[in-house]
Amino acid sequence: MKNYAVYVFSGIFAAAVVVHLCAIVLKKRRLQAASKILLLPPLLAAYIAGAYTPLVTVIIAVAAGWAGDIFLINIKKPLFFRLGLASFLAGHICYIPSMLRFTENISLPVLAVSAVLFLAGGIVLYRLIKPAAAMRVPVIFYEIAIILMSLAALQLLVSGKNAPGALAFAGSLLFLVSDSFLARFLFNTKPAWGDLAVMTSYIAAQAAIVSGLAAL
């Protein structure tokens, strides 16, 4: 029964993803907004049904992402953008202890090298994003949160959690890609393929992280 529920909720999630991406391609704005709201609830339900011991921090992280999705439907309004940013920030922060919960040993050499690389990459991304003056500090804090999440995911991977760790780490990197696209297009000119790039990488990020954590 448990596996059946996972398959059902995963199927609903996949269907919502297909509808949402098609709506983006076809420029059906109302369907795009409606289907965006339906993306994460079935993914969360699949996690709760499939995880051996569902973690409260993961549930909060996905719920925060769902709230962020809703707020960012009105991304051009400063208040909703800030609320969306805060929601995703909370989600990233909640993913960190979720990953460390299953990390048996912290590899200090890997942590040191990866921290330097991620910091350098974060500086490059910040320069590419070129946020407005009023958003510079929030963007910096947000980048730090994603970097910390990626470092936690990498520690999960190198601690021996091979497939789940790889999924979580890949998801964290996809989040970096998605949020970098989003910020770049928000503060600069957005190309025609912008929404598709943001949402494809974002959906893959959430699915990879949640699937990895569900497998632990």
Residue 164 has pLDDT above 90, yes or no: yes
Residue 139 has pLDDT above 90, yes or no: no
More confident residue, 212 or 127: 212
Which tens digits make up the pLDDT trace of 25-78?
Answer: 999 999 999 999 999 999 999 999 999 889 999 999 999 999 999 999 998 888
| Rg of the chain in Å (alpha carbons) | 17
pLDDT grade for 136, boundaries at 50, 70 and 90? confident
More confident residue, 41 or 161: 41
Quickly list DSSP for 5-16: HHHHHHHHHHHH
| Exposed/middle/buried for residue 81 (C-beta within 10 Å: 0-12, 13-18, 19+) | middle
| Exposed/middle/buried for residue 99 (C-beta within 10 Å: 0-12, 13-18, 19+) | buried
Note the pLDDT of residue 2: 62
Quickly list DSSP for 133-175: GGGHHHHHHHHHHHHHHHHHHHHHHHTT-HHHHHHHHHHHHHH
How many domains would you assign to the chain?
Answer: 1
- Assigned token pair, 62: 């996905």
Residue 206 has pLDDT above 80, yes or no: yes
- CB contact at 8 A, 62 and 43: yes
Query: What whole-number distance in Å separates Cα of residue 87 and Cα of residue 68?
Result: 5
Note the pLDDT of residue 1: 55
Which tens digits make up the pLDDT trace of 168-187?
Answer: 999 999 999 999 899 888 88
- CB contact at 8 A, 48 and 54: yes
* % of the chain residues with pLDDT over 70: 99
Among 199, 204, 181, 201, smallest CA distance to 191 is for 181
Note the pLDDT of residue 78: 86
pLDDT grade for 132, boundaries at 50, 70 and 90? confident
Half-sphere exposure of residue 105: CA atoms within 13 angstroms, side-chain side = 7
Which tens digits make up the pLDDT trace of 142-152?
Answer: 999 999 999 99
Could you tell me the sign of the dihedral formed by the alpha carbons of 30, 62, 178, 202, in that order?
A: negative
> What domain range includes position 131?
2-214
